[in-house]
Amino acid sequence: MALRLGKHAPKIHPRTLFYHNYHVAVPPPPPVSYYYKRLHTNSWGMLGNDNVGDCTFADAGHQIMLNNSYTGRGPNPTLADILKGYSAVSGYDPRTGANDNGCAITDVMDYRNTVGIGGDKIAAWVQIDPTNLQHVRQAIHAFGGVQIGVQLPNSALDQFNSNKDWTVVANDGGIAGGHDIFGCGYPDDKNIAIVSWGRALFASVEWLKKYCDEMYATVSLDWISTQAGLSPSHLNLDALKQDLLALQK
């Protein structure tokens, strides 16, 4: 099975908001275990990441698919939608294959905010400290998932090809390159449920601590308005809305 990467090193962006700024004074803990139902299927699709280095856009496509399954919006992004965005941000030419060099996650976030993928636009994005497991869980619960940037070890490629979850091994074979995966659940305090290359699997918390170099959640007004019953009451939505208005100026 062909597996491509494509995430650039973390890139600072002036429109990035920070998750910790929107906590209420005493936030309640997230649920001990939480899944989004689409996790139980493997109907995600590669979205081009078997042929080109568009993992940052494939991750975005998977998030939109999950959000649509809850909010009733749609249609889901097509491969053409994903490649259109990837070409716009990276300069990739699908006719010749030139400039298939991947993207920075924050550049993809900016595209999703200003242009959108297949008609789906986000209001903003927030950066999350990947070492703060409570914040990671709360963000998954509140925003319908997180975009996880990693420096992927070769051992993860071997584990994936052997239908194994991602865990730390003594000899990881070195770093294969930057990759972007979608985190959309957690069964316990030791693992995060993820989607990569169209397949649902788990990554251990220790694995994420070792290899994750950036993490974000997208702010979708449709998600917030329709998922109030699912989202924990730990966010200061008034402060978030004020910052969203400021970004629009």
pLDDT tens profile 136-145: 988 888 888 9
Find tokens 């090809």 and name the residue: 161
Other beta carbons within 10 angstroms of residue 101's beta carbon come to: 12
What Cα–Cα distance (Å) separates residue 101 from each residue in 8, 12, 60, 90, 113? 9, 19, 17, 7, 22
CA distances from residue 165 to 50, 86, 147, 203, 221 in whole angstroms, order as listed: 19, 28, 18, 6, 33
Angle between helices 79-90 and 105-114 (to 10 degrees): 110
- The whole-number pLDDT of residue 230 equals 46
pTM: 0.91
The CATH architecture assigned to 17-247 reads Alpha-Beta Complex (3.90)
Q: Return the percentage of the chain with pLDDT > 90, whole number.
A: 61
Domain positions in the chain: 17-247
pLDDT tens, position by position, 162-179: 999 999 999 999 999 999
Q: Could you tell me whether strands 17-18 and 124-127 are parallel, antiparallel, or unpaired per DSSP bridges?
A: parallel
> What's residue 191's pLDDT?
94
Tokens of 122: 């986000």
At 85-133, the pLDDT tens digits run 999 999 999 999 999 999 999 999 999 999 999 999 998 899 999 999 9
DSSP state for residue 21 in the 8-state scheme: G
pLDDT at residue 225 in the model: 65
Q: Is 35 helix (H, G, I), strand (E, B) or coil?
A: strand
Name the pLDDT band for 42 (thresholds 50, 70, 90).
Answer: low
- The enclosing H or E element of 217 equals strand 212-219
